[in-house]
Amino acid sequence: MNDPDEKARELRHKEQQLRKREQELRLRELEAEIEKSVPEHITRKYEEPDSDSQAKLKIWRRKIIAITQFTGLAIVALVAIRVASWLGTAVLVGAIALIGYKILFEDKNSKK
C-alpha cells in the first residue's frame, strides 16, 4: 500500500520542481525584457577643469549670455508696447475725428 502513496508523493514532488523551474524561466525572461527596455545612458568620466580660472570664465560666459538674452527680450517687449501704444492712440484719434466730422461737417440736408 505504500507503493501508490510513494508514487503520488514522487509525482507531486516532480510537479513542484517543474513549476519551480517554469517560474525561474519566466523570471529570467522578464528580467531579459526589462534589461532590453531600459535604455543605456552614455556616461562620461568627470574631468577636472585645468584651472579654477577657466571654470570661472565658463560660468561668467554663461551668465553674460543669459543677461544679454534677458536684456534683448526686455528691449523687444518695450518696443512692442510702444508701437502698440502709438497704434492705439492713432486709432482713437481717427475714431474721434470721424465722429466729429460726421457730427459737424456732414451735410444735414442729406438726412431727409
What is the tens place of the pLDDT at every residue in 7-24? Answer: 889 999 999 999 999 999
Residue 43 region by backbone torsions, left for phi larger than 0, else alpha for psi between -120 and 50, else beta: beta
- Specify the amino acid at residue 57: L
All three cell numbers of 84, joined, read 502698440
Distance, in Å, from the CA atom of 74 to the CA atom of 68, rounded to the nearest integer, reads 10
Q: What mean pLDDT is predicted for residues 67-88?
A: 98
At residue 50, the pLDDT reads 64
Domain ranges within the chain, ordered by starting residue? 1-38, 52-112
d(CA 93, CA 36): 70
* Residues 88/94, Cβ–Cβ less than 8 Å: no
Residue 96 pLDDT greater than 70, yes or no:
yes
What whole-number distance in Å separates Cα of residue 77 and Cα of residue 61? 24
**Percent of all residues in the chain with a pLDDT value above 70, rounded to a whole number:** 87
The reply to whether the predicted model has a pTM over 0.95 is no
CB-based burial, 77-93: b 16+ in 10 Å, e otherwise? eeeeeeeeeeeeeeeee
